[in-house]
Chain A
Amino acid sequence: MIALNIAWTHLTSRKRQTAVSLVGVVLGVAFFLAVSALMRGSEKDFITRLIDNSPHITVSDEFRTARLQPARLRWPDDLVEIAGLRPKNETRGIRGWRYRLGQIDSLPGLRAAPVLVGSAVLLFAGQEQGISLSGILPARMRGVSTIEEKLVEGSLDDLEANPGGIIIGAGLAEKFSLRLGSTVNLVAGGGSNRSLTVVAIFRTGNAGYDESQTYVLLKRAQLLLGRPDRVNRFIIKLADASQALLVANRIEAMGTYKAVSWAEASEDILNVLFVRNVIMYSVVSAILLVASFGIYNTLSTIVMEKTRDIAILKSVGFQARDIRHIFVLEGLIVGTLGSVLGLAVGAGLMQLMASVQIRPPGGTAMVNLPVWWGGEQFLMAAGFALLSCLLAAWLPARKAGRLHPVDILRGAT
């Protein structure tokens, strides 16, 4: 192909200029890749933490909308007015929870655990602390909650083995100087009280959680809270967290209880992350845009230097289109080479960043920079680089195509 041949010759005959514009694209692509990998990595890291610290889906004993009155159900399309309405008393908790849990269990790709959540007051050596009490089935809880991984002392098995056991957070333990085997007194909302033995201690890093969350066996919680054979929450972990909204809707459609996905519960944070991504991509794209000016500059110079060649080619019978192709090809060559090299350099940078360990100010543990090796940013970096190169080449190419051979011949002869 002649156009390609000429384009290649133009580029290789001014190696330094070509190299400079190439380096611009390479650096642009590499930074685009490295920065976006870091930003997306930190986003994923953040979401993972967000998701891990709370269930993907929580089904609670609440309803999204108030229960419809029988009269409204009977005549859904007519105007029904009910005066002095007072909803009937509901027994709190999920009705027929074993049946409903079985239904949820039958859905693919998820694990669910029943929980009874209530509040209680913990008494120890004359001090008191309001706590949140969760009654759990330890065997069910595994793989649904990250609580087991967060245990610093004891284990879920210890709770299973000891019906009078309680798991507390590290914050609470430090506050009341509790250790494994310490006995605490619990007064539940219903008024019943009971002394329990600390069998395990967890640390999540979330201070509020570490100070006020406790776990006991489900049966124990039901007795303490005076709600035998009741649970008021299912917590659900999905194999693929991004399906949460979908699955939550399905669960809600099965029963009438409210199923809230993490995405719904943290919508504000996800919005913030989205905005952050938009900002980040605009900034890194700007780098590439700046790099494309190098190409524009080089190609404009070539067009100026090569006006005579362009005049010859046109007089010999090359169309304006052919001339444009030559210069667009030059932009594409630089763009393609720059993208390939830039992706390689960017991947190297990512590798380097991933291996860096940093101790955050005030932190206790070393942290790895979160780098996300997603394919889409590689595609975006290369795609955007090619696009800006094409744009940068198009303007000089158009100018070259418009050159009139006679104007140049007159000037030269």
Chain B
Amino acid sequence: MSVVLRAQGLHKILAGDVPTTLIKGVDLEISAGEFVCIMGPSGSGKSSLLYLLGLLDVPTHGTIALDGVNTQGFNDAQLTQLRLEKLGFVFQFHFLLSEFSVLDNVCLPMRRLGRWPEAQCRERAMSLLTRLGVAAQASKLPSQLSGGQRQRVAVARALANDPLILLADEPTGNLDTVASANVRQILHDLTRELGKSVIAVTHDPKFAAGADRRINVVDGQIDPDWQPL
């Protein structure tokens, strides 16, 4: 299987009076269609690693190659363009734009990318919402939806531009058990169906159980021996 994301010697050090090291020396590879979970204790640097892999943040040292493109030295605009084209994000909180309808929220990345005409954007958005079982909510505002529904809309938005990799930061962390199971199921099934790679930070062992691979992060380093309590 081809490698879609390769990270080498990643370090992230926050400057300050006392510099804080968040990530020290992480190397990893993600293959196409692979479902990877990042686990670890609180404050171990899981989210920081995800932000680096998602090109939201720039490593202090080390390189990240996305789809064969080495991003070292890329400026903010170039990284943003890569995120737009190749990555999709789902966060712990749904992070939908509250003034826009569900459909508009899903269309947002497509409109920015401009690859499809408006009618096709809506068509694509509707088909994603249908797959995620929230098509009936398309014209509602996010505030009118339940937590699980919002998170499914967020997944639809993350998939809107047909990304290579879906990055999720505790996607079920803020949901009750039923909604959580539902979102977990959808993420697993849909991404396999669509052949997307997934990198998900999670605390949820059930979530991790369905993953192809588990990466444990402890104190900013990969630790294969760590076990969740």
**B residues near A308, Cβ cutoff 8 Å:** 95
The answer to whether B99 and A9 have CB atoms under 8 Å apart is yes
A319 contacts partner chain B, Cβ-Cβ < 8 Å: yes
**A residues less than 8 Å from B111 (CB atoms):** 2
Partner of B113, one of A317, A405, A412, A413: A317
A317→B51 contact, CB < 8 A: no
- Chain B, 38-73, CB within 8 A of any chain A CB: 47, 51, 54, 56-57
A316 within 8 Å of B by Cβ?
Answer: yes
Interfacial residues of chain A within 1-26, with CB under 8 A of chain B in the complex: 2, 6, 9-10, 13
B34 an interface residue at 8 Å Cβ cutoff?
no
> B11 CB to closest chain A CB, in angstroms?
16
Cβ B83 vs Cβ A317 within 8 A: yes
CA of A322 to CA of B83 in the docked complex: distance in angstroms?
Answer: 15
Q: Does A315 contact B (CB under 8 A)?
A: yes
Q: Given A316-B83, A406-B51, is A2 in contact with B108 using a C-beta cutoff of 8 Å?
A: yes
Cβ contact of A317, chosen from B81, B91, B98, cutoff 8 A: B81
In the assembled complex, B184 has its CB within 8 A of some CB on chain A: no
Contacts of A6 in B (CB 8 A): 97
Q: A322-B112, A406-B56, A409-B51 are in contact. Are A315 and B97 (CB under 8 A)?
A: no
Asked if residues A316 and B157 are in contact (CB atoms below 8 Å), the reply is yes
In the assembled complex, which residues on chain A have CB atoms less than 8 Å from the CB atom of B76? 319-320
Q: Are B80 and A319 in contact (CB under 8 A)?
A: yes
A412 touches B93 (CB 8 A): yes
B77 at the interface (CB under 8 A from A): yes
A412 to B89, CA, bound (A): 15
Contact between chains at A413 and B91 (CB < 8 Å): yes
**Does B84 touch A at the CB level, under 8 Å?**
yes
- Is B83 within 8 A of A309, CB to CB? no
Q: A239 in the interface, Cβ–Cβ < 8 Å?
A: no
Q: Report the minimum CB–CB distance from B145 to chain A (whole Å).
A: 16
Q: Is the CB of A319 within 8 A of B92?
A: no
Inter-subunit contact B77/A320 (CB<8 Å): yes
Is B221 on the interface with A (CB-CB < 8 A)?
A: no
Q: A293-327 vs B: 1/0 string, CB under 8 Å?
A: 00000000000000011011111111111100000
Across the two chains, which residue of chain B brings its CB closest to A314? B80
Residues of B in contact (CB 8 Å), total 31
List A contacts of B77 (CB < 8 A): 319-321
Cβ of A410 within 8 Å of any chain B Cβ, yes or no, is: yes
Neighbouring B residues of A316 by C-beta, 8 Å: 83-84, 89, 108-109, 112, 157
Contacting B at CB under 8 A, from A261-294, are none
Q: Please measure, in the bound complex, the distance between the C-alpha atom of A410 and the C-alpha atom of B76, giving whole angstroms.
A: 19
| In the complex, chain B residues whose CB is within 8 Å of the CB of A9 | 99-100
Is B204 engaged at the interface, CB distance under 8 Å to the other chain?
A: no
Interface size on A, residues (CB 8 A): 25
Tell me how far the C-beta of A344 lies from the nearest C-beta in chain B, rounded to whole angstroms. Answer: 29
Please name the residue on chain A nearest to B111 by beta carbon: A2
Q: Quick one: which of A363-413 are within 8 Å of B by CB?
A: 405-406, 409-410, 412-413
In the complex, are the beta carbons of A317 and B47 less than 8 A apart? no
Q: Which residue of A lies closest to B55 (CB)?
A: A315
Q: How many angstroms from the CA of A311 to the CA of B54 in the assembled complex?
A: 14
Chain A residues positioned under 8 Å from B96 (CB to CB)? 312
Cβ–Cβ < 8 Å partners of B92 in chain A: 413
A406 in contact with B57 (CB, 8 Å): yes
CA distance A327 to B54 in the complex (A): 26
Q: How far is the CB of A406 from chain B (nearest CB, A)?
A: 5
Assess the B56–A315 pair: CB atoms within 8 A. yes
Contact assessment for A410 and B47 in the assembled complex, using a CB-CB cutoff below 8 Å: yes
A406, B93: Cα distance in complex, Å: 14
What is the CA–CA distance of A318 and B169 in the complex, to the nearest angstrom?
20
Residue of B nearest to A10 (CB): B99
What residues of chain A lie closer than 8 Å to B97, measured between beta carbons?
Answer: 6, 309, 312-313
Q: Nearest-CB distance from B108 to chain A (Å)? A: 6
Contacts of A406 in B (CB 8 A): 51, 56-57
With the chains together, A10 CA to B57 CA distance in Å? Answer: 27
Q: Is the CB of A318 within 8 A of B95?
A: no
A315, B93: Cβ atoms under 8 Å?
no
The reply to whether B109 and A317 form a contact with Cβ atoms under 8 Å apart is yes
B83 and A315 within 8 A (CB):
yes
B190 to chain A, nearest CB (A): 19
Using CB atoms, name the residue of chain A closest to B81. Answer: A317
Say whether, besides A317-B84, A406-B51, A2 and B170 are in contact (CB < 8 Å): no
Assembly CA distance A100 to B85 (angstroms): 83
Q: How far is the CB of A339 from chain B (nearest CB, A)?
A: 26
Q: For residue B88, which residue of chain A has the nearest CB?
A: A316
| Least distance between A277 CB and chain B CB atoms (Å) | 46
User: Bound complex: CA of A10 vs CA of B96, how far in Å?
Assistant: 14
Contacts of A312 in B (CB 8 A): 95-97
Q: A2-B112, A322-B112 are in contact. Are A315 and B89 (CB under 8 A)?
A: yes
- Indicate whether B161 reaches chain A with its CB closer than 8 angstroms: yes
Cβ < 8 Å to A, chain B residues 148-176: 157, 161, 169-170
Bound-complex Cα distance A413 to B93 (A): 7
A309 to B100, CA, bound (A): 11
A409–B111 CA distance with the chains assembled, in angstroms: 23
Q: Judging by beta carbons under 8 Å apart, are B99 and A13 in contact?
A: yes
Q: Which 7 A-B pairs have the closest CB atoms?
A: A317-B84, A9-B99, A406-B57, A312-B95, A317-B83, A413-B92, A2-B111
The 6 sampled A-B contact pairs (Cβ below 8 Å) are A316-B89, A317-B161, A318-B112, A409-B56, A409-B169, A412-B93
11 other contacts beyond A309-B98, A312-B96, with CB at 8 A cut-off?
A313-B97, A315-B56, A316-B112, A317-B84, A318-B84, A319-B77, A320-B80, A409-B51, A410-B47, A413-B91, A413-B170
